[in-house]
Amino acid sequence: MPDANENRVLETELRQVLDFAPQLVAVFGPERKRLYANRPTLDYFGLQLEEWQAISDPFWFFHPDDRERMASDVYTVRASEVAHEFEARMRRHDGEYRWFLFRDNPLRDERGRVTRWYLSATDIEDRKRAEDQLRIAADELQRVMSSVPDSLWSAEIDEQGAWTYRYYSPAVEKITGRPTSFFLQDPSAWFGIVHADDRKRVAIAAERLMSGQVEQAEGEYRIIHSNGEIRWIRDSGVARRQGTRLRIDGVVSDITERKRAEDALLRSEAYLSLAQRLTLTGSFAWDAKGGSDNYWSQEMFRIWDFDPADGVPSPKRSLERVHPEDRDKLKEYLERALSHPLSVTRAKDDRVVFGDGTVRHVPIPKRDSGTPQEVLGSTARRKEQAGSDLGSIDFRLMMPNESLKYVRGIMRPVLDHVGECIQYVGTNVDITEQVRAEEELRASEARFRTLVDHAADSILLRTEDGKLVDVNQNACESLGYTRDELIGMTPRDLVDPSEDPAFFRSVGERLNAGEVFAFESRFRRKDGTVLPVEVRVRPFWQHGQRFFLAIARDITDRKRAEKEREHLRQLEAELAHINRVSIMGEMTASIAHEINQPLSGVVSNGSACLRWLAADTPNLEEAREAARRIVRDGKRAGEIIARIRALVKKAATPMAQLDLNETVAEVLALMADEAKRKGVMIRTEFAEDLATVLGDRVQLQQVVLNIVMNAIEAMSDAPSKQLLITTSNEAIQVRVTVQDRGKGLDPGETEKIFEPFYSTKSGGIGMGLSISRSIVRNHGGNLWATANDTGPGTTLQFTIPQYKEGSIGGS
């Protein structure tokens, strides 16, 4: 135990020690009575000990933000009276607050009561700042990392080869759609998202890196994003050995967009190449400075027939392939092309795309205080000054196999930003087919002209204003004018003045309405004679102008023929009439009987009627019946007479839609008695659904009459007098057959019977069948005879086309 003096010395020494200590130290008595503060403490506050001791507020020095915390902490702790630490800010004498680490230790007496508090405070302001800075730096790094699109990663491989990820930057989530934890938890997770097709490649690269074969590796491969999309990424890694471990740091970048752009470029190149192939257009670029920066597209090689493997042929080699006669022409064109520069195409900002497709930044010359646009404008102006359009040049190539190729070339120099020629660019088009087609067209035109000139009709072409612009040889010959005389004339000059002008006005109106139509007219020749013509006019448009094409046919012969035909037709009608009347004559007895039948009925019924009425009790019912029958029979007689009258009438009946069953049945009604008289049984087999025909009823009935009369006649000596009449539908015709069981015809007779004045009958004039055939043919049908297949006899049959809506009948 040291004595009091010794203690005092020691206390002084301790105080000195405390005064030199870097920490602030203060001693408090119970109840936190301020007993002592060392020099640094007093210096910090800028107080004397007495002043310090006099401070009553225990939190007086603390930062206002810390006071509350201090109050609660310190008081609470004091209550428990144990040693403790805390951090807080204290105000320095100059007003600056600094962070301190406080250590509060109580001293207790033998009874355990706290007699003293020793409080030391260490200035931690600088450490705090460093910590803050570090945290800010780390935050910033984190922010930077999350803002860059690329993801950084770091991995470690231990001596066993186990792969552990140490870090993945958050950007990985944007690239893969998965959080960093996904990859950090499972080292094989990354490999799992690699596209199956690329996995092997990635595995090999990773293996080479891990095994130390390479220190650096990079590759582009596909991964599957969590949303299912395929993403192209570029992954690179650098390996570093750290003792026994290998550390690999890598960067993953999403290059999907770049890949897409590349694909698009590839596609666009493919399309361009295809377009060139399809249009037979090759493109090329020549280095103006004689360098090797030459380009020929694939199609160029194909057109010129050079092997792309040999590279772009030299100008000399190319020129040798040009047809000798065209070489000078081509050289001259190339020289001219020099004065027709091609302006560059402006892109964004100060970048421009040059004719060769390269993109360069154009520095704006200092002396030229203009924008890039203005600089380029000056080039464009220069081009304009160069004047007229250069156009293209057509030349021929002599191919190795001696065939000729026609090529159309266009070439322009490309200037750089200062107007200096750097390149010639251009295209070559294989126009062989076109040239051939044009030649063919010219030949075809010549042929066509010959054709038109030699046409049997006059062809006249006029414009809308009425002036003739072209005529053919025939028009000149038939009108008696020369071609030059005709061109410029109007159709009105050619038409006979006696023609109705009103008609021509209507013709004009109809033509203007775009109608195509034909009419008959008369032309007046140069010598004044008149020419009957049939004119067919059609308007048409060509190159926005309307033309009228008139084809005029000389119908002098036709008119004459028409007259003759008309005359013949009348003769024929006369003959047909005579024939009908004569048949009727032959049938007189039958007809008389036919009328006699109803007449007898009338007489009998009349008598009966009178008698019924005259009876003692008149039988009115019977009388009425009899009277009714008189009316009926009278009508019947009238009908027979009407039928006969129709047949012997001379006037032609109009063409009408006819049911041949009905038409034939009417004739048979007339002939029933004739047949009966001759002992002939007439049987009919009529098609129920027989199509109608367009015809002259009387004429067709005459045909049936002739045929049936002949058939009855033919059977006069036959043992079985049966006549079968059938009607049937053919494909587009209606057929009527009349089959007799007569003696039949000799093989040579089947055609002869249709000749005029040929008759097998003793009393016939031999016109019946001839007229019948003429009638049938005028109806567009045919009439012929055949021997019966089975048994004796002849079959006569005729066909008439079926009626169709809108069809125009024969004759």
Partner 1 sequence: MADHEVIVAIVDDDPSIREGVSSLLRSAGWRVETFASAEEFLARSQTDPLSCLLVDLQLPELSGLDLQNWMIDAKLEIPIVFISGHGTIPASVQAIKAGAVEFLTKPFDEQQLFHAISEAVELDRGAREHRAELRQLRVRYDSLTPREQEVMREVVSGLLNKQVASELDISEFTVKVHRGQVMRKMHADSLADLVRMAEKLGIRSSKNS
Give the binding site for partner 1 (CB under 8 A): 589, 592-593, 596-605, 607-609, 611-612, 615, 619, 622, 625-626, 629, 632-633, 636, 673, 676-677, 679, 681
Strand order across the 34-37 sheet: 34-37, 24-28, 114-123, 97-108, 84-91
Least distance (Å) from partner 1 to the CB of residue 600? 4
Q: Residue 533 in contact with residue 523, Cβ under 8 Å?
A: yes
Nearest-angstrom CA–CA distance, 329 and 286: 19
Residue (439 or 685) nearer to partner 1, CB? 685
Nearer to partner 1, 619 or 760 (CB): 619
202 versus 623: smaller Cβ distance to partner 1: 623
CB of 715 to partner 1, least distance (A): 15
Helix (H) / strand (E) element for 625: namely: helix 620-648
Nearer to partner 1 by Cβ, of 104 and 740: the residue is 740
- The closest of 112, 96, 9, 14 to 61, measured between CA atoms, is 96
The rounded distance, in Å, linking the Cα atoms of 158 and 243 is 10
Question: How near is the Cβ of 723 to partner 1 at its closest, in Å?
Answer: 13
Distance of closest approach, residue 591 Cβ to partner 1, in angstroms: 11
Please say which residue, 571 or 603, places its beta carbon nearer to partner 1: 603
Give me Rg for the CA atoms of the chain: 63
Query: Nearest Cα to 55, choosing from 90, 84, 82?
Result: 90
3-state secondary structure of 184: helix
Q: Which residue in this structure is represented by tokens 């004044």? A: 528
| Beta carbons of 462 and 491 less than 8 angstroms apart | yes
CB of 641 to partner 1, least distance (A): 15
Find the shortest distance in angstroms from Cβ 594 to partner 1.
Answer: 8
Decide whether 488 or 618 has the Cβ nearer to partner 1. Answer: 618
Least distance CB 740 / partner 1 (angstroms): 18
Q: Alpha helices of 107-195 — where are they, by DSSP H?
A: 125-147, 171-176, 180-185, 189-193
Task: Give the helix/strand (H/E) hosting 463.
Answer: strand 458-463
Alpha-carbon distance of 614 to 610, in angstroms, equals 6
In angstroms, what is the minimal distance from the CB of 565 to partner 1? 44
220 with 255: CB under 8 angstroms? yes
Packed helices 660-677 and 697-714: angle between N→C axes, nearest 10 degrees? 30
Least Cβ distance, residue 721 to partner 1 (angstroms): 11
Give 604 or 733: the residue with its C-beta nearer to partner 1.
604
Strands 545-554, 530-542: pairing kind: antiparallel
- Residues 736 and 750: their CA atoms lie apart, in Å, by 17
CB-wise, 466 or 679, nearer to partner 1? 679
If the CB atoms of residues 682 and 745 are measured against partner 1, the closer one turns out to be: 682
The burial class, CB within 10 Å (0-12 / 13-18 / 19+), for 761 is middle
Nearer to partner 1, 235 or 673 (CB): 673
Q: Closest distance between partner 1 and the C-beta of residue 632, in Å?
A: 8
Nearest-angstrom CA–CA distance, 226 and 542: 64
Q: How far apart are alpha carbons 648 and 584 in whole angstroms? A: 8
Biggest CA–CA distance in the chain, Å, is 201
Residues 6+ apart with CB under 8 A from 770: 754, 755, 756, 757, 758
Residue closer to partner 1, measured from CB, 83 or 631: 631
Nearer to partner 1, 159 or 621 (CB): 621
CA dist 375 and 666 (Å) reads 105
Taking the complex as a whole, how short is the minimal distance between the CB of residue 627 and partner 1, in angstroms?
10
Q: How far is the CB of 611 from partner 1 (least distance, A)?
A: 4
Nearer to partner 1, 261 or 589 (CB): 589
Q: Which is nearer to partner 1, 259 or 676 (CB)?
A: 676
What contacts 576, CB < 8 A, 6 or more positions away?
699, 702, 771, 774, 775
Partners of 410 in beta bridges: 427
Q: How far is the CB of 673 from partner 1 (least distance, A)?
A: 7
- In this structure, the dihedral spanned by the alpha carbons of residues 262, 263, 266 and 272, taken in order and rounded to 10 degrees, is -120
State in angstroms the smallest separation of the CB of 783 from partner 1. 29
